[in-house]
Amino acid sequence: MKKFNSHKLILGGILILAFSCSEQLNFGEKISGKWNMVKVLEFSEDVTENHNPGHNRWISFKADPETPFEGSFESGTGGVMKNTGRWFLNEKGEEFFLDSDAGEEDDSYWVVTFSSDSMHWKGRKFEFNKRFEIFYKKSE
């Protein structure tokens, strides 16, 4: 009978935890900067023209150096800023929350994934934003 090696189990758990924490820490670095909206899907239908008719909507994120799981954001159209607020990543690193200064009805939850210079949001929690997916391209 093979002997159970608890040291390997503990080491494995530590590595998983370290990887998970590093992914969360990297989130602030990944999301920081300006992003241009390139596509909006509602129920998988392209509705970009309704939400970004001038093809110049953007959102800019700044990570809080004291807390790597949160920061601030600004968003706008062209050179005009329209909204500000705070962003938060939950402790599991799976849910992204935008707390908009425009009011509670403008707050939203998302699952965010990155690929090179692209970012993809999938709506979560609220029935309204569950309908949407938003695609961004890094600007800066």
Q: Which domains can be identified in the chain, with CATH numbers?
A: 6-138 (2.40.128.20)
Least confident of 7-16, 84-93, 116-125: 7-16
Write down the pLDDT at residue 126. Answer: 87
Whose tokens are 């900067």? That residue is 33
Who has greater pLDDT, 133 or 68? 133
Per-residue pLDDT of 53-79, as tens digits, reads 999 999 999 998 888 789 999 999 998
Rg value, the chain, Cα: 18
The pLDDT of residue 93 is above 90: no
Read off the pLDDT of residues 15-33 as tens digits, 9 standing for 90 and up. Answer: 333 334 444 448 888 999 9
- At residue 140 the predicted structure's pLDDT band, cuts being 50, 70 and 90, is low
